Structure 1
Amino acid sequence: MFEFILAATARSYFFMRRFMPTAIVIDAINTRRGLKWGVPAMVLAVPYGLAAIYCRAQIDAAGPGWLNVLMLLFLWTALKFVLIGPISLLKLMAVRAREAVARRRMTRALLTDGGERFDEPVLVPRHG
């Protein structure tokens, strides 16, 4: 029974990661090229927050109880988008620091290794 529950949980998790729009956006933001879009993506939390407020208003006006689940889903998604901004900024700073260190090491290695020799001609292939 436990194996069945574990397998169903894993399959639903991977289905959600692959096909749900918010998961796709957050996965795209967590790439190197997408880290700069974390702060603008925080704006996406506003419509989800408004949807949660609307669901709460409907619940207070004797609406159906299943709107509580929808409201929690909207709040959870808004929270994810609010948090992705600062997290992506921290990741971007760490990546840029690592890239700067690698650039300095490469420059230092080229300069100490002799780099280019100016007394030897450089052969460049001709296309034409």
Structure 2
Amino acid sequence: MFEIILAAIARSYFFLRRFMPTAIVIDAINMRRGLKWGVPAMPLAVPYALAAIYCRSQIEAGGSGWLNLLVIVCLWNTLKLLLIGPISLLKLIVVRVREAVARRRMARVLLIEGAEPIDERMLVSGRS
């Protein structure tokens, strides 16, 4: 019985990771190319917050109690999209520092090996 429950949870988790809009956006932002889009993606939280407010007002007006689940989902998505901005900025800073350190190390290794001095900007652009 436990295996059936675990399998159902795993399948639903992977289904949600693949097809839910906020999961797709956050996965795209967490890649190296997408780190710069974390802050511009933060306003996507506004429609989810408005949907949560609307569902909550429907519940208070006598609507179905199942709308509470939608409120929770909308608030969770709002929180995820609001937090991805600062998190992606921190990740971008870390990645850029690591890339700068790697460029400096590569230039130092090339100088030690006797290669002619090169400009660090040439390493970034790929030209030599």
- TM-score range, shorter-chain basis? 0.7 to 0.9
Q: 1:126 is matched with which residue?
A: none
> Aligned-pair distance for 1:27?
0.3
Number of residue pairs matched by the alignment? 117
Letter in 2 for 1:64: S
| CA–CA distance in structure 2, aligned partners of residues 61 and 12 of structure 1 | 32
Give 5+ residue unaligned stretches, structure 2: 118-128
Query: SS of the counterpart of 2:9?
Result: helix
Matched, 1:65 2:65: yes
- What CA deviation, in whole Å up to 9, does each residue of 1:54-89 have, x standing for no partner? 111111111111111111110000000011111101
Query: SS of the counterpart of 2:40?
Result: helix
- What CA deviation, in whole Å up to 9, does each residue of 1:30-53 have, x standing for no partner? 000000000111100111101111
Structure 1 consecutive aligned stretches of length 4 or more whose deviation exceeds 2 Å = none
Matched, 1:107 2:107: yes
**Structure with max Cα Rg:** 1
Q: 1:11 is matched with which residue?
A: 11
| CA–CA distance in structure 2, aligned partners of residues 14 and 61 of structure 1 | 35
| CA–CA distance in structure 2, aligned partners of residues 37 and 49 of structure 1 | 20
| CA–CA distance in structure 2, aligned partners of residues 63 and 12 of structure 1 | 27
Q: 2:92 is matched with which residue?
A: 92
Letter in 1 for 2:59: I
TM, length-normalised to structure 2: 0.87
RMSD: 1.2
TM, length-normalised to structure 1: 0.87
Give 5+ residue unaligned stretches, structure 1: 118-128
> Aligned-pair distance for 1:116?
3.5
| CA–CA distance in structure 1, aligned partners of residues 94 and 66 of structure 2 | 42
Query: SS of the counterpart of 1:106?
Result: helix
Identity of aligned residues (%): 76
